[in-house]
A = this chain, B = another copy of it.
């Protein structure tokens, strides 16, 4: 069946009403809208059609309708008007971000917090690495007879360090030669490419009896493997205010899943694409999210890295608004991460607010 213009208008109205009330919506409520010059009976007929088409669902016979995941999908793809951030909104975001963002380290955590505060949904932020992760250069600083600080400059421009102690003492000469050997042999390699044969070879070359080379190699591998990727989750407790999670069990399951952090890895999957992604209900891979909605934005972050920032909420979520927030903040993050330290958050695509879809 074709989706007539009228059906589309009705579907849109239903979705929006349901988004704001979380209650099944009936024909009367829609007919009450002055925009909709139709009687409830007509609407009822249309609603019956929409239900037959699988875009609406009926919890039970004598209840109103709620949108099915497909219904949401159509809404998101075709019906939803983009939520334009109002001046107040951009200002609020800017204020919140500026206040918090001091350094790139805590950027993620802060962004997540801001998002979850603004949307009142749990938010997560993470970085993933897109390309190879390798050491570009080793520097070994000898602090005293027993202590060496290893500094690894990675390909993406970040540096990692580790203080290594050698209780039996370590010779200056060994440290120096080790630097040479590692810079020659262990740079531009991924963690997988470093194998134990190489390490043993280095040990032999160095005449290393105290495991210094092994320690350095293991530090290298763990650094490369751990991948600068970080995860942050905030605002999970917001779930408890939502009517759909009044059931403690449901809430518990979802929270556990989120805290576990596994989904984060799954959620970064729609890779390559940039911009905002919306995943509705069963569109999610993870079982636990099958009746939740996820909105996420990805953005390029420095070298080889990609940032993801996302929001998890009930299927009934104000996708338009959340998507707008996310894309705005993702844009800001990108700029901050590329620019120099002082965060100058621009007034990105701010517009006058015309329709307030709350």
Would you call B151 and A161 a contact (CB within 8 A)? yes
| A132-173 at interface with B (beta carbon < 8 Å) | 137, 139, 141, 143, 149, 151, 153, 157-163, 165, 167
Would you call B240 and A252 a contact (CB within 8 A)? yes
Report the nearest B residue to A259, measured CB to CB.
B237
Check: A340 CB closer than 8 A to any chain B CB: yes
A198 to B112, CA, bound (A): 37
Would you call A340 and B149 a contact (CB within 8 A)? no
Given A237-B255, A237-B256, A240-B248 in contact, is the A159-B167 Cβ separation under 8 Å?
no
Given A151-B141, A162-B159 in contact, is the A240-B251 Cβ separation under 8 Å?
yes
A312 to chain B, nearest CB (A): 14
Going nearest first, the 4 A-B pairs with the smallest beta carbon separation are A237-B255, A240-B252, A139-B141, A159-B161
- The interface residues of chain B lying within 8 Å CB-to-CB of A215 are 341
Given A149-B153, A222-B102, A248-B248 in contact, is the A161-B160 Cβ separation under 8 Å?
yes
Contact with B along A247-264 (1 / 0, CB 8 A): 011011001100100000
A228 to chain B, nearest CB (A): 13
Interface size on A, residues (CB 8 A): 37
Check: A234 CB closer than 8 A to any chain B CB: yes
Report the nearest B residue to A136, measured CB to CB.
B143
Check: A241 CB closer than 8 A to any chain B CB: yes
Would you call B103 and A222 a contact (CB within 8 A)? yes
Report the nearest B residue to A234, measured CB to CB.
B259
A340 to B211, CA, bound (A): 13
A234 to B153, CA, bound (A): 32
A162 to B151, CA, bound (A): 10
A157 to B162, CA, bound (A): 10
A161 to B139, CA, bound (A): 12
A338 to chain B, nearest CB (A): 11
A167 to chain B, nearest CB (A): 7
Would you call A158 and B163 a contact (CB within 8 A)? yes
Check: A246 CB closer than 8 A to any chain B CB: yes
A126 to chain B, nearest CB (A): 15
Instruction: Identify A137's interface contact among B143, B222, B341, CB under 8 A.
Output: B143
Check: A236 CB closer than 8 A to any chain B CB: yes
- The interface residues of chain B lying within 8 Å CB-to-CB of A137 are 143
A159 to B219, CA, bound (A): 14
A150 to chain B, nearest CB (A): 9
- The interface residues of chain B lying within 8 Å CB-to-CB of A103 are 222
